Structure 1
Amino acid sequence: MTYRKDIDGLRAFAVLSVIAFHTGLAVFPGGYVGVDIFFVISGYIITTMICSEIKDKKFSYLSFYKRRIARLLPSLIITLLIVASFGFYFYTNKSFDKLGKEMFFSSIGAANILFAQGVDYFAEDAAYQPLMHLWSLGVEEQFYLIWPAFLLIAFKMSHGSVIPLTAMALVTTTIIAISVVNNDGSKAYFLLQYRANELLIGSLTALILTKASSENVREEVKKSISYFGLVLMAAPVFLYDENTVFPGYNALFPCLGVALIIAFPNTGWVTRLLSHRTLVFVGLISYPLYLYHQPIVSFISYFDFKLPASALFMTVALLSSLLALVTYQYVEKPIRNIARIASRKSIVTVGLLCFSIPALAAAGAVIAKTNGLPERFELLNPFALEVSASHASSFHKHYERGFEVSESESSKALFVGDSVLQQYVLPISIALDFDVDEVDTVTRGGCVLLKGVDFNDKYADISCNDIRNDLYNSAKTYDYVVISQAWESYEDSVTNFPAGENVYERWSGFLNQTVEHFLRYSEKVVIVGPHPRVAGVKGLQPSIRLTKETYLFGLRKLEVINNESLNSAVSVFNALEKNRRIIVLEPREIFCSVRCVLSNETWSYYSDGQHLTSAATSFVAERISNILSLRANISP
């Protein structure tokens, strides 16, 4: 096929848009549509190549996948090795466990399937998301498995049937994508069946151009069409944001814009701009550039460098471009040249690339199956192993997530809430002298379980809305029902939040409904109020580099950083205690009654900014017991 500089320019626009989005440049809030631009380009390129070979009777699956392997695997292998090495040295067991799982799925081209089960692409957790962007590679690789066979079958049926069949596939997948985007956002964002229409737009463009060239179209018309295409493609980068319903129909605008630019090259300034040597250069290295940029964003975020978005963009763009250039020049180009030639060297090279995939997948599986390879701490830093044990969650040692309600007619206590609630289950049970089997839990991280809430559940393997429905359909009775959550969170997930500046006041209506419901089924309702946010915890995370001296020094630096917010919550939660059957436990009273106690001078009481460690259990249980003993309406 004829090389076109402007298509490399489109690749450059796409990758720079994505980098701008991932580095937080506010002027490009819709930069994530760069991935959709890539999809259209990929559909166009692949379809053009396959059709050309089919017509020349030269197409073979072996040569097609050989080229795909040589194109995709070298940079992917390097990316996975870099990320795995970083995670091995710097990550906690929990984070490395998660990374191992992502490595496994990314290696086999199924990262999108993994992320569709429980990840929010827009969640701000960049420090531990170095492979998040590989979902798009999974979509493309899965498309490459299906599309050649589709085209071969269509051509065998009739050359005239190829375009109509592709158009039907495009319309069908577009309808599917639009129909689910509001109801199942996570799956709609990541899975092939909801993204295939974007690749098919490029494919249909390629097929139409094989039948009807744009050469006969007047130059001025082609220029006008390319201007319109640029507007459709570029406007979403500036106008969309994380709250835009996407992909669905909103993905069609940038995709159609790209298709118009590809279909109508001309002598106008759009084609000339996209063909500029700087953009062409970026386009040529765009694949490794795309693969490397997210790990670099993640590494910078891990070390908590406070860079302005513009400086972060420049840093990430520069570093990833340098790495991409070296990879393109000295790894990717030589391997692709070798793969084009039928020789023993070609067979060995492609064979080694193919062997690397199960090897990396196996490494990821081992990391995940061993819960983060804790042996690395045993061998290289035993102190980090002690920290891991101290920082572990007390909840997950004794309880399960989800709807865990026994079949008995009554129990001692029911705990309802998210991961912040989970950390109080064991301490409150100890304070009230409850055994594990006397306690029911309805809980899941990142989940609002208050009555009356309309919740947009973007990410999780356990449906928040399902367990909420089960919770309020239960008529089981309890001595105590304990309710809590991360009160400062979820403003973007609760779709029926009332207006108001004080976030705690906005929860009061839901809280009142919830309390009123549970007072019918329990003797007392306990509400754990607003939670301190603690700074300085990141430096205490167990890793191979952590030393005891660094850890002990870090304990002295821990501090509560949301006192102003905690003060604004006092009146909201105090108002609930007018009912003597309602008890409000203030975490600030637990940790900061006289002065803030955030560690026992040996171990931190916080594993991150808001979650407690196992080391905090006895301290919190004792403090709760003391607080409750002072309340006139309860004795422990």
Structure 2
Amino acid sequence: MHKYRADIDGLRAVAVSSVVIYHAIPNLVPAGFVGVDIFFVISGFLIGGIIYGDTLDGSFSFANFYARRVRRILPALLAVVLATLLAGLFLLNTHAMKELTSQAFAALFGLSNVYFWDNSDYFATAAVYQPLMMTWSLGIEEQFYVVFPFLMFPLIKLAPRGRIIALLVLIGVSFALSIVAVQRAPVSAFFLLPPRAWELGIGVTLAVMHHEKWIPQASRAVTDLISLVGFALVIASLFLFNHDTSFPGYAVLLPVIGTVMLIHAREGFFNRTLLSWKPVVFVGLISYSWYLWHWPMMAYVRIASDHSHTGGALLSVAAMSFVVAVLSWRYIEQPFRARKLPNIPVLVRYVTVLVAVAAVPVALRLADGVPQRIPHSVVVAEKVRAEGRGTCLLSFDQVRFDESLPCYPEGSRIALLGDSHASAAGVGLEEYAASEGTTLAQFSKSGCAPLLGYSRPQQGSLVYARNCADFVDGAWRQIASDPDIETVFIVGSWPSERDRLFRPVVDEKVLPPVESLEAVDRGLRALVSRLHEANKNVVLVGDVPRFDFNPMERVISDGFVARRFLRDFFGLSYKVKDGWVSPQALMPEYDKVGEIVRRIAEEDERIAYYDLKQVFCEADNCLYEKDGKPIFLDQHHLSAFGSRQVEWSDVEFSSPHMRTPS
């Protein structure tokens, strides 16, 4: 068993502080998420080292090992899950409550990473509203420790050198899988155990090498140097990357290597000074509770808030969660860890309590999220949400459009081409097409701007960029070859001028990034040109207003007393009146690119232009709800109800070269 090391608790403090600050204000620590990778290495070193030592001397017991794990993990986790569910009853609508019950059930049984792999994305905007998202890393660890003890028995039958080699081979396989997955399936690379196992494995390997005394004792000067370099690598890793970095992949090497060096340099300068400083060590001692409590508290404040820029408020929440974590550590973690009972009774009791607690989210789910608690205004908003924003949207991994689908009716004279904003507008356009005696053929793919030869990777995935380019190329060709289609509406989520992630795609090759202004100008002109060559009318559609708040959630928050209280307590409310909000609630960084779309239409008389922003905005304010119904599902997607408010018949086909669909 490892002798207690204060410096490792100090390293935990660095990890958890980085994570919490990143979750509050990402710009302060752009890659604070690497704190989780630091935790993985520490866990592998400590827990993996214990398993190795106990297995080697024949004292390892599954009952003893898992009894220690449940004492360490479950008490605080059970408390957080129950508190989060209870708060959800006062803060969440039925849809979100049902999602939370699934998150809670997955968290209790160590499957959070699998749940979020299938349902979310850590770096996606929506992730910050998932109250139990932080439990994904616990899933990784618990799955690792289900598998690893069984691996250790055949491993110790090898000679010491063979054990190290075998571990290094397994680490290499896992790391290689991570490198491949981060390009081809980035969400899998982030959430699933196989691409992550090497991070815990490298900690285990260091522990084995220490146990076998494979690393000679270094001088104080060398140890200080190792400590200095390790600390520098860890700190650098917190600032050199951000949410757009392909992660984990190669980037994670920096914090992992830095952590390994710091763990190894036990008596190094930073280890014996900063990392062993009592206030820092104390933060490390409560790091598990702080990690658990900070996220749901932040998520609920975000859910209640109008503002997307909640940094100041979330720093206050971080401080509050620290106090809660201290209490949790003192009155939940410590008593249960100190209690001495035989292993089998401990396991039986914890399993019984676990099943009892797991029955709570199951009961809430069976009760359909307890809809009786929902105010009428929220019920109305939820019906709008349930209707969604169109059904003809291809997912990220789909490329080709299935002509057999109802999204491509035979004989359609009007077509829609674009991304998720196009799909959202499609509900109203379908009704417009019907009023013109025809149907609507829809070509829309999530996150894929209607630009020819340019696309934006998701999480750095070049495969996605190629898929997007293939989709747009295939869509315009299909439209051009269909003699029935006369008019094409091009609707896109036009990017911010700050966006510099678009990449040219030429002959399946993804080239270096260009600015969004260039991508939209060239890519949109190229697409329009191809459609004109096919003798199609083109209507360019200016984007909807981009709100700095979520109109759907604002309407829902107005119905919940607890949410209104949180929103107003933290000063995170925009002033609204009769469904209108002031322009201060809009995001102006999208205007410049939007002007490019308008200019392209104005320069060519063969192009009609229709501005969705003008539909919903006047000089002094913008409409976000009408008759208690949200016009938008989120900050920038029309609801089906909102889509029906658009008068598409107002499009003016003024050029003699164009004709109104008939």
Q: TM-score, normalised by structure 2?
A: 0.83
2:555–2:628 CA contact under 8 A, matched in 1: no
Cα distance, 1:41 vs. partner? Answer: 0.4
Judged with a 3 Å threshold, the aligned counterparts in structure 2 of structure 1 residues 569 and 194 are, in CA distance, closer, same or farther, namely same
The aligned runs of 1:160-179 (5 Å cut-off) are 160-179=161-180
CA distance in 2, matches of 1:176, 1:205: 21
Cα distance, 1:459 vs. partner? Answer: 10
Cα distance, 1:214 vs. partner? Answer: 6.2
1:535–1:558 CA contact under 8 A, matched in 2: no
Q: Are 2:371 and 1:381 equivalent residues in the alignment?
A: no
Letter in 2 for 1:221: V
Farther off after superposition, 29-38 or 110-119: 110-119
Cα distance, 1:327 vs. partner? Answer: 1.7
Q: Are 2:601 and 1:584 equivalent residues in the alignment?
A: no
Judged with a 3 Å threshold, the aligned counterparts in structure 2 of structure 1 residues 189 and 495 are, in CA distance, closer, same or farther, namely farther
2:579–2:626 CA contact under 8 A, matched in 1: no
CA distance in 2, matches of 1:289, 1:150: 32
Secondary structure at 2:442 match in 1: strand
1:524 is matched with 537
The aligned runs of 1:22-171 (5 Å cut-off) are 22-24=23-25, 26-117=27-118, 119-125=120-126, 127-158=128-159, 160-171=161-172
Judged with a 3 Å threshold, the aligned counterparts in structure 2 of structure 1 residues 326 and 391 are, in CA distance, closer, same or farther, namely same
Partner residue of 1:483 out of 490, 504, 508: 490
Judged with a 3 Å threshold, the aligned counterparts in structure 2 of structure 1 residues 182 and 306 are, in CA distance, closer, same or farther, namely same
Letter in 2 for 1:386: V
1:604–1:615 CA contact under 8 A, matched in 2: yes
Farther off after superposition, 555-564 or 234-243: 555-564
1:108–1:357 CA contact under 8 A, matched in 2: no
Q: Are 2:634 and 1:608 equivalent residues in the alignment?
A: yes
CA distance in 2, matches of 1:136, 1:154: 26
Q: Are 2:502 and 1:494 equivalent residues in the alignment?
A: yes
Farther off after superposition, 532-541 or 221-230: 532-541
CA distance in 1, matches of 2:182, 2:296: 28
Q: Structure 1: 5+ residue runs without aligned partners?
A: none
Secondary structure at 2:25 match in 1: coil
Secondary structure at 1:424 match in 2: helix
The aligned runs of 1:452-491 (5 Å cut-off) are 452-458=453-459, 466=467, 469-470=470-471, 472-473=473-474, 475=478, 476-477=481-482, 478-489=485-496, 491=499
Letter in 1 for 2:443: V
1:184–1:458 CA contact under 8 A, matched in 2: no
Secondary structure at 2:10 match in 1: helix
2:389 is matched with 395
The aligned runs of 1:257-336 (5 Å cut-off) are 257-266=258-267, 268-304=269-305, 311-312=312-313, 314-336=315-337
Judged with a 3 Å threshold, the aligned counterparts in structure 2 of structure 1 residues 73 and 395 are, in CA distance, closer, same or farther, namely same
Letter in 2 for 1:354: L
1:233–1:257 CA contact under 8 A, matched in 2: yes
2:581 is matched with 558
CA distance in 1, matches of 2:132, 2:165: 37
Secondary structure at 2:503 match in 1: coil
1:151–1:162 CA contact under 8 A, matched in 2: no
Judged with a 3 Å threshold, the aligned counterparts in structure 2 of structure 1 residues 98 and 469 are, in CA distance, closer, same or farther, namely farther
Cα distance, 1:159 vs. partner? Answer: 5.0
CA distance in 2, matches of 1:89, 1:77: 19
Q: Are 2:403 and 1:406 equivalent residues in the alignment?
A: yes
Letter in 1 for 2:444: T
The aligned runs of 1:219-258 (5 Å cut-off) are 219-258=220-259
CA distance in 2, matches of 1:289, 1:509: 49
CA distance in 2, matches of 1:344, 1:499: 61
1:555–1:604 CA contact under 8 A, matched in 2: no
2:449–2:455 CA contact under 8 A, matched in 1: no
Cα distance, 1:404 vs. partner? Answer: 5.2
2:489–2:538 CA contact under 8 A, matched in 1: yes
1:233–1:258 CA contact under 8 A, matched in 2: yes
Q: What is the aligned length? A: 622
CA distance in 2, matches of 1:260, 1:330: 34
1:433 is matched with 434
Farther off after superposition, 196-205 or 115-124: 115-124
2:522 is matched with 509
Instruction: Kindly provide the CA deviation profile for residues 121-155 of structure 1, in whole angstroms up to 9, marking residues without a partner as x.
Output: 33344651332322211211121111111111211
1:103–1:360 CA contact under 8 A, matched in 2: no
Cα distance, 1:307 vs. partner? Answer: 11
CA distance in 1, matches of 2:363, 2:607: 51
CA distance in 2, matches of 1:417, 1:214: 58
Instruction: Kindly provide the CA deviation profile for residues 519-555 of structure 1, in whole angstroms up to 9, marking residues without a partner as x.
Output: 45563222211322346634312676169x9999753
Cα distance, 1:511 vs. partner? Answer: 0.8
Cα distance, 1:197 vs. partner? Answer: 1.6
CA distance in 2, matches of 1:413, 1:313: 47
CA distance in 1, matches of 2:593, 2:223: 60
Letter in 2 for 1:525: V
CA distance in 2, matches of 1:267, 1:615: 63
Percent of residue pairs bearing the same amino acid type: 27
Farther off after superposition, 96-105 or 256-265: 96-105
2:433–2:440 CA contact under 8 A, matched in 1: no
Letter in 2 for 1:528: V
CA distance in 1, matches of 2:212, 2:118: 41
Instruction: Kindly provide the CA deviation profile for residues 322-347 of structure 1, in whole angstroms up to 9, marking residues without a partner as x.
Output: 22222222222222234x52178634
Judged with a 3 Å threshold, the aligned counterparts in structure 2 of structure 1 residues 15 and 50 are, in CA distance, closer, same or farther, namely same
Cα distance, 1:411 vs. partner? Answer: 2.7
1:619 is matched with 645
2:452–2:527 CA contact under 8 A, matched in 1: yes
Partner residue of 2:598 out of 573, 584, 602: 573
CA distance in 1, matches of 2:125, 2:514: 24
